[in-house]
């Protein structure tokens, strides 16, 4: 059931008629491929989108999670009014089989839609959690042992044998008021968080995962960045968060140029992540328009870059340049 993403174009379109790489549901159901060669070495890595900015990456027998938010409880974000006092809950039954047995969990920032399930998943699996100092302290507040938490800042290149992870300092996206929800950091272990407002942004990171003998893949959890910090990364694939406003100037062209025009861009953080994991991924009209605008911007800024609109839990393989 793997889908191999190669050099040639594929079928699919957004609502606005922008050509993209997309996987029809029938192809996923019947194990079909969208066509084309691998365009390089895949290194045995399989990538599955978990919704929002979340990913499961299986590299041989090793599983890495990025921002896994699988409980997907409602806060009113997609069906207002939004409730900052929404209790943090973990749907243990729903998420039991989805994350596999992770060895590592990479956290971009500690907002609930990136972090809420991480303490439970780490406690159940023994996975090591990587993130900012806020992630480190909030993880301890949830009862994770200090020895299981690895604070990182950006610039670290971590060797795991069959893959490496480069930590990249990043920025959180801005809302229409040039601010963000729940700003702040935690410099010490806080009381155990109870609501989504108890999980601050806590600074933001991105990650470059390089599979030995396979592709290099860049993961964003929010839609802003520091161009200088991306110099030389040149990933084969970029999992790019779709901006929710126009507060960040020239987002797509600056990002794609800084990343040296990746072969494939996979938009993330555009779905309604407060519903069940069901294909096709749900998207509210407002976010559909933003997704279409983002795809147009990518095509205009980097015509040779393919855009893949992922489906939930569908296995994808990517080739190296």
Three-state SS string over the chain comes to: CCEEECCCCCCCECCCCCECEECCHHHHHHCCCCCCCCCCCCCCEEEEEEECCEEEEEECCEEEEECCCCCCCCCCCCCCCCCCCCECCCCHHHHCCCCCCCCEEECCCCCHHHHCCHHHHHHHHCCEEEECHHHHHHHHHCCCCHHHEEECCCCCEEECCCEEEEEEEEECCCCCCCCCCCCCCCCCCCCCCCEHHHCCCCCEEEEEEEECCCCEEEECCCCECCHHHHCCCCCCEEEEECCCCCCCCCHHHHHHHHCCCCCEEEEECCCCCCCCCCCCCCCCHHHHHHHHHHHHHHHHHCCCCEEEECCECCCEEECCC
Report d(CA 89, CA 174) in Å as an integer: 26
Its pTM stands at: 0.89
Tokens of 207: 């990650």
Report the distance separating Cα 241 and Cα 246, nearest Å: 13
Query: Which residues, given as ranges, of the chain have pLDDT below 70?
Result: 1-43
Q: What is the pLDDT at residue 22?
A: 41
- Residue 321's pLDDT is 76
**Domain annotation for the chain: domains and CATH numbers:** 3-318 (3.60.15.10)
CB atoms closer than 10 angstroms to residue 275: 14
pLDDT of residue 29: 27
> What's residue 94's pLDDT?
87
Residue 35 has what pLDDT? 29
Question: Can you give the pLDDT at residue 40?
Answer: 59
Looking at residue 320, its pLDDT comes to 87
Residues 6+ apart with CB under 8 A from 123: 142, 143, 144
Residue 29: CB atoms within 10 A of its CB come to 11
């Amino acid at each position: 059931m793997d889908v191999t993403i190669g050099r040639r174009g594929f079928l699919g379109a957004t609502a606005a008629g922008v050509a993209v790489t997309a996987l029809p549901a029938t192809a996923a159901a019947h194990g079909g491929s969208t066509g084309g060669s691998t365009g390089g070495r895949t290194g045995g890595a399989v990538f599955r989108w978990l919704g929002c900015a979340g990913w499961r990456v299986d590299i041989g027998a090793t599983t890495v999670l990025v921002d896994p938010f699988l409980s997907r409880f409602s806060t009113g974000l997609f069906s207002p009014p939004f409730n900052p006092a929404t209790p943090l809950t973990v749907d243990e039954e729903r998420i039991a089989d989805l994350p596999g047995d992770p060895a590592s969990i990479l956290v971009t920032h500690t907002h609930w839609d990136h972090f809420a399930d991480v303490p439970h998943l780490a406690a159940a699996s023994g996975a090591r959690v990587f993130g900012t100092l806020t992630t480190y302290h909030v993880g301890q507040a949830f009862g994770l042992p200090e020895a299981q938490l690895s604070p990182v800042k950006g610039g670290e290149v971590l060797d795991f044998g069959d893959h490496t992870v480069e930590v990249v300092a990043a920025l959180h996206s801005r809302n229409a008021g040039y601010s963000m929800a729940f700003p702040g950091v935690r410099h010490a272990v806080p009381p155990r968080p109870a609501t989504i407002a108890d999980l601050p942004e806590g600074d933001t990171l991105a990650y470059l995962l390089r599979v030995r003998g396979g592709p290099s893949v860049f993961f964003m959890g929010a839609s802003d960045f520091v161009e200088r910090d991306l110099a030389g990364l040149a990933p084969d694939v970029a999992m790019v968060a779709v901006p929710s406003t126009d507060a960040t100037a020239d987002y797509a062209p600056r990002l794609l140029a800084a990343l040296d025009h990746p072969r494939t861009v996979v938009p993330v953080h555009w779905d309604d992540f407060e519903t069940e994991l069901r294909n096709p991924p749900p998207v509210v009209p407002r976010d559909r328009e933003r997704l279409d605008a983002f795809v147009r911007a990518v095509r205009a800024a980097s015509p040779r870059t393919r855009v893949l609109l992922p489906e939930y839990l569908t296995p994808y393989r990517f080739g190296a340049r």
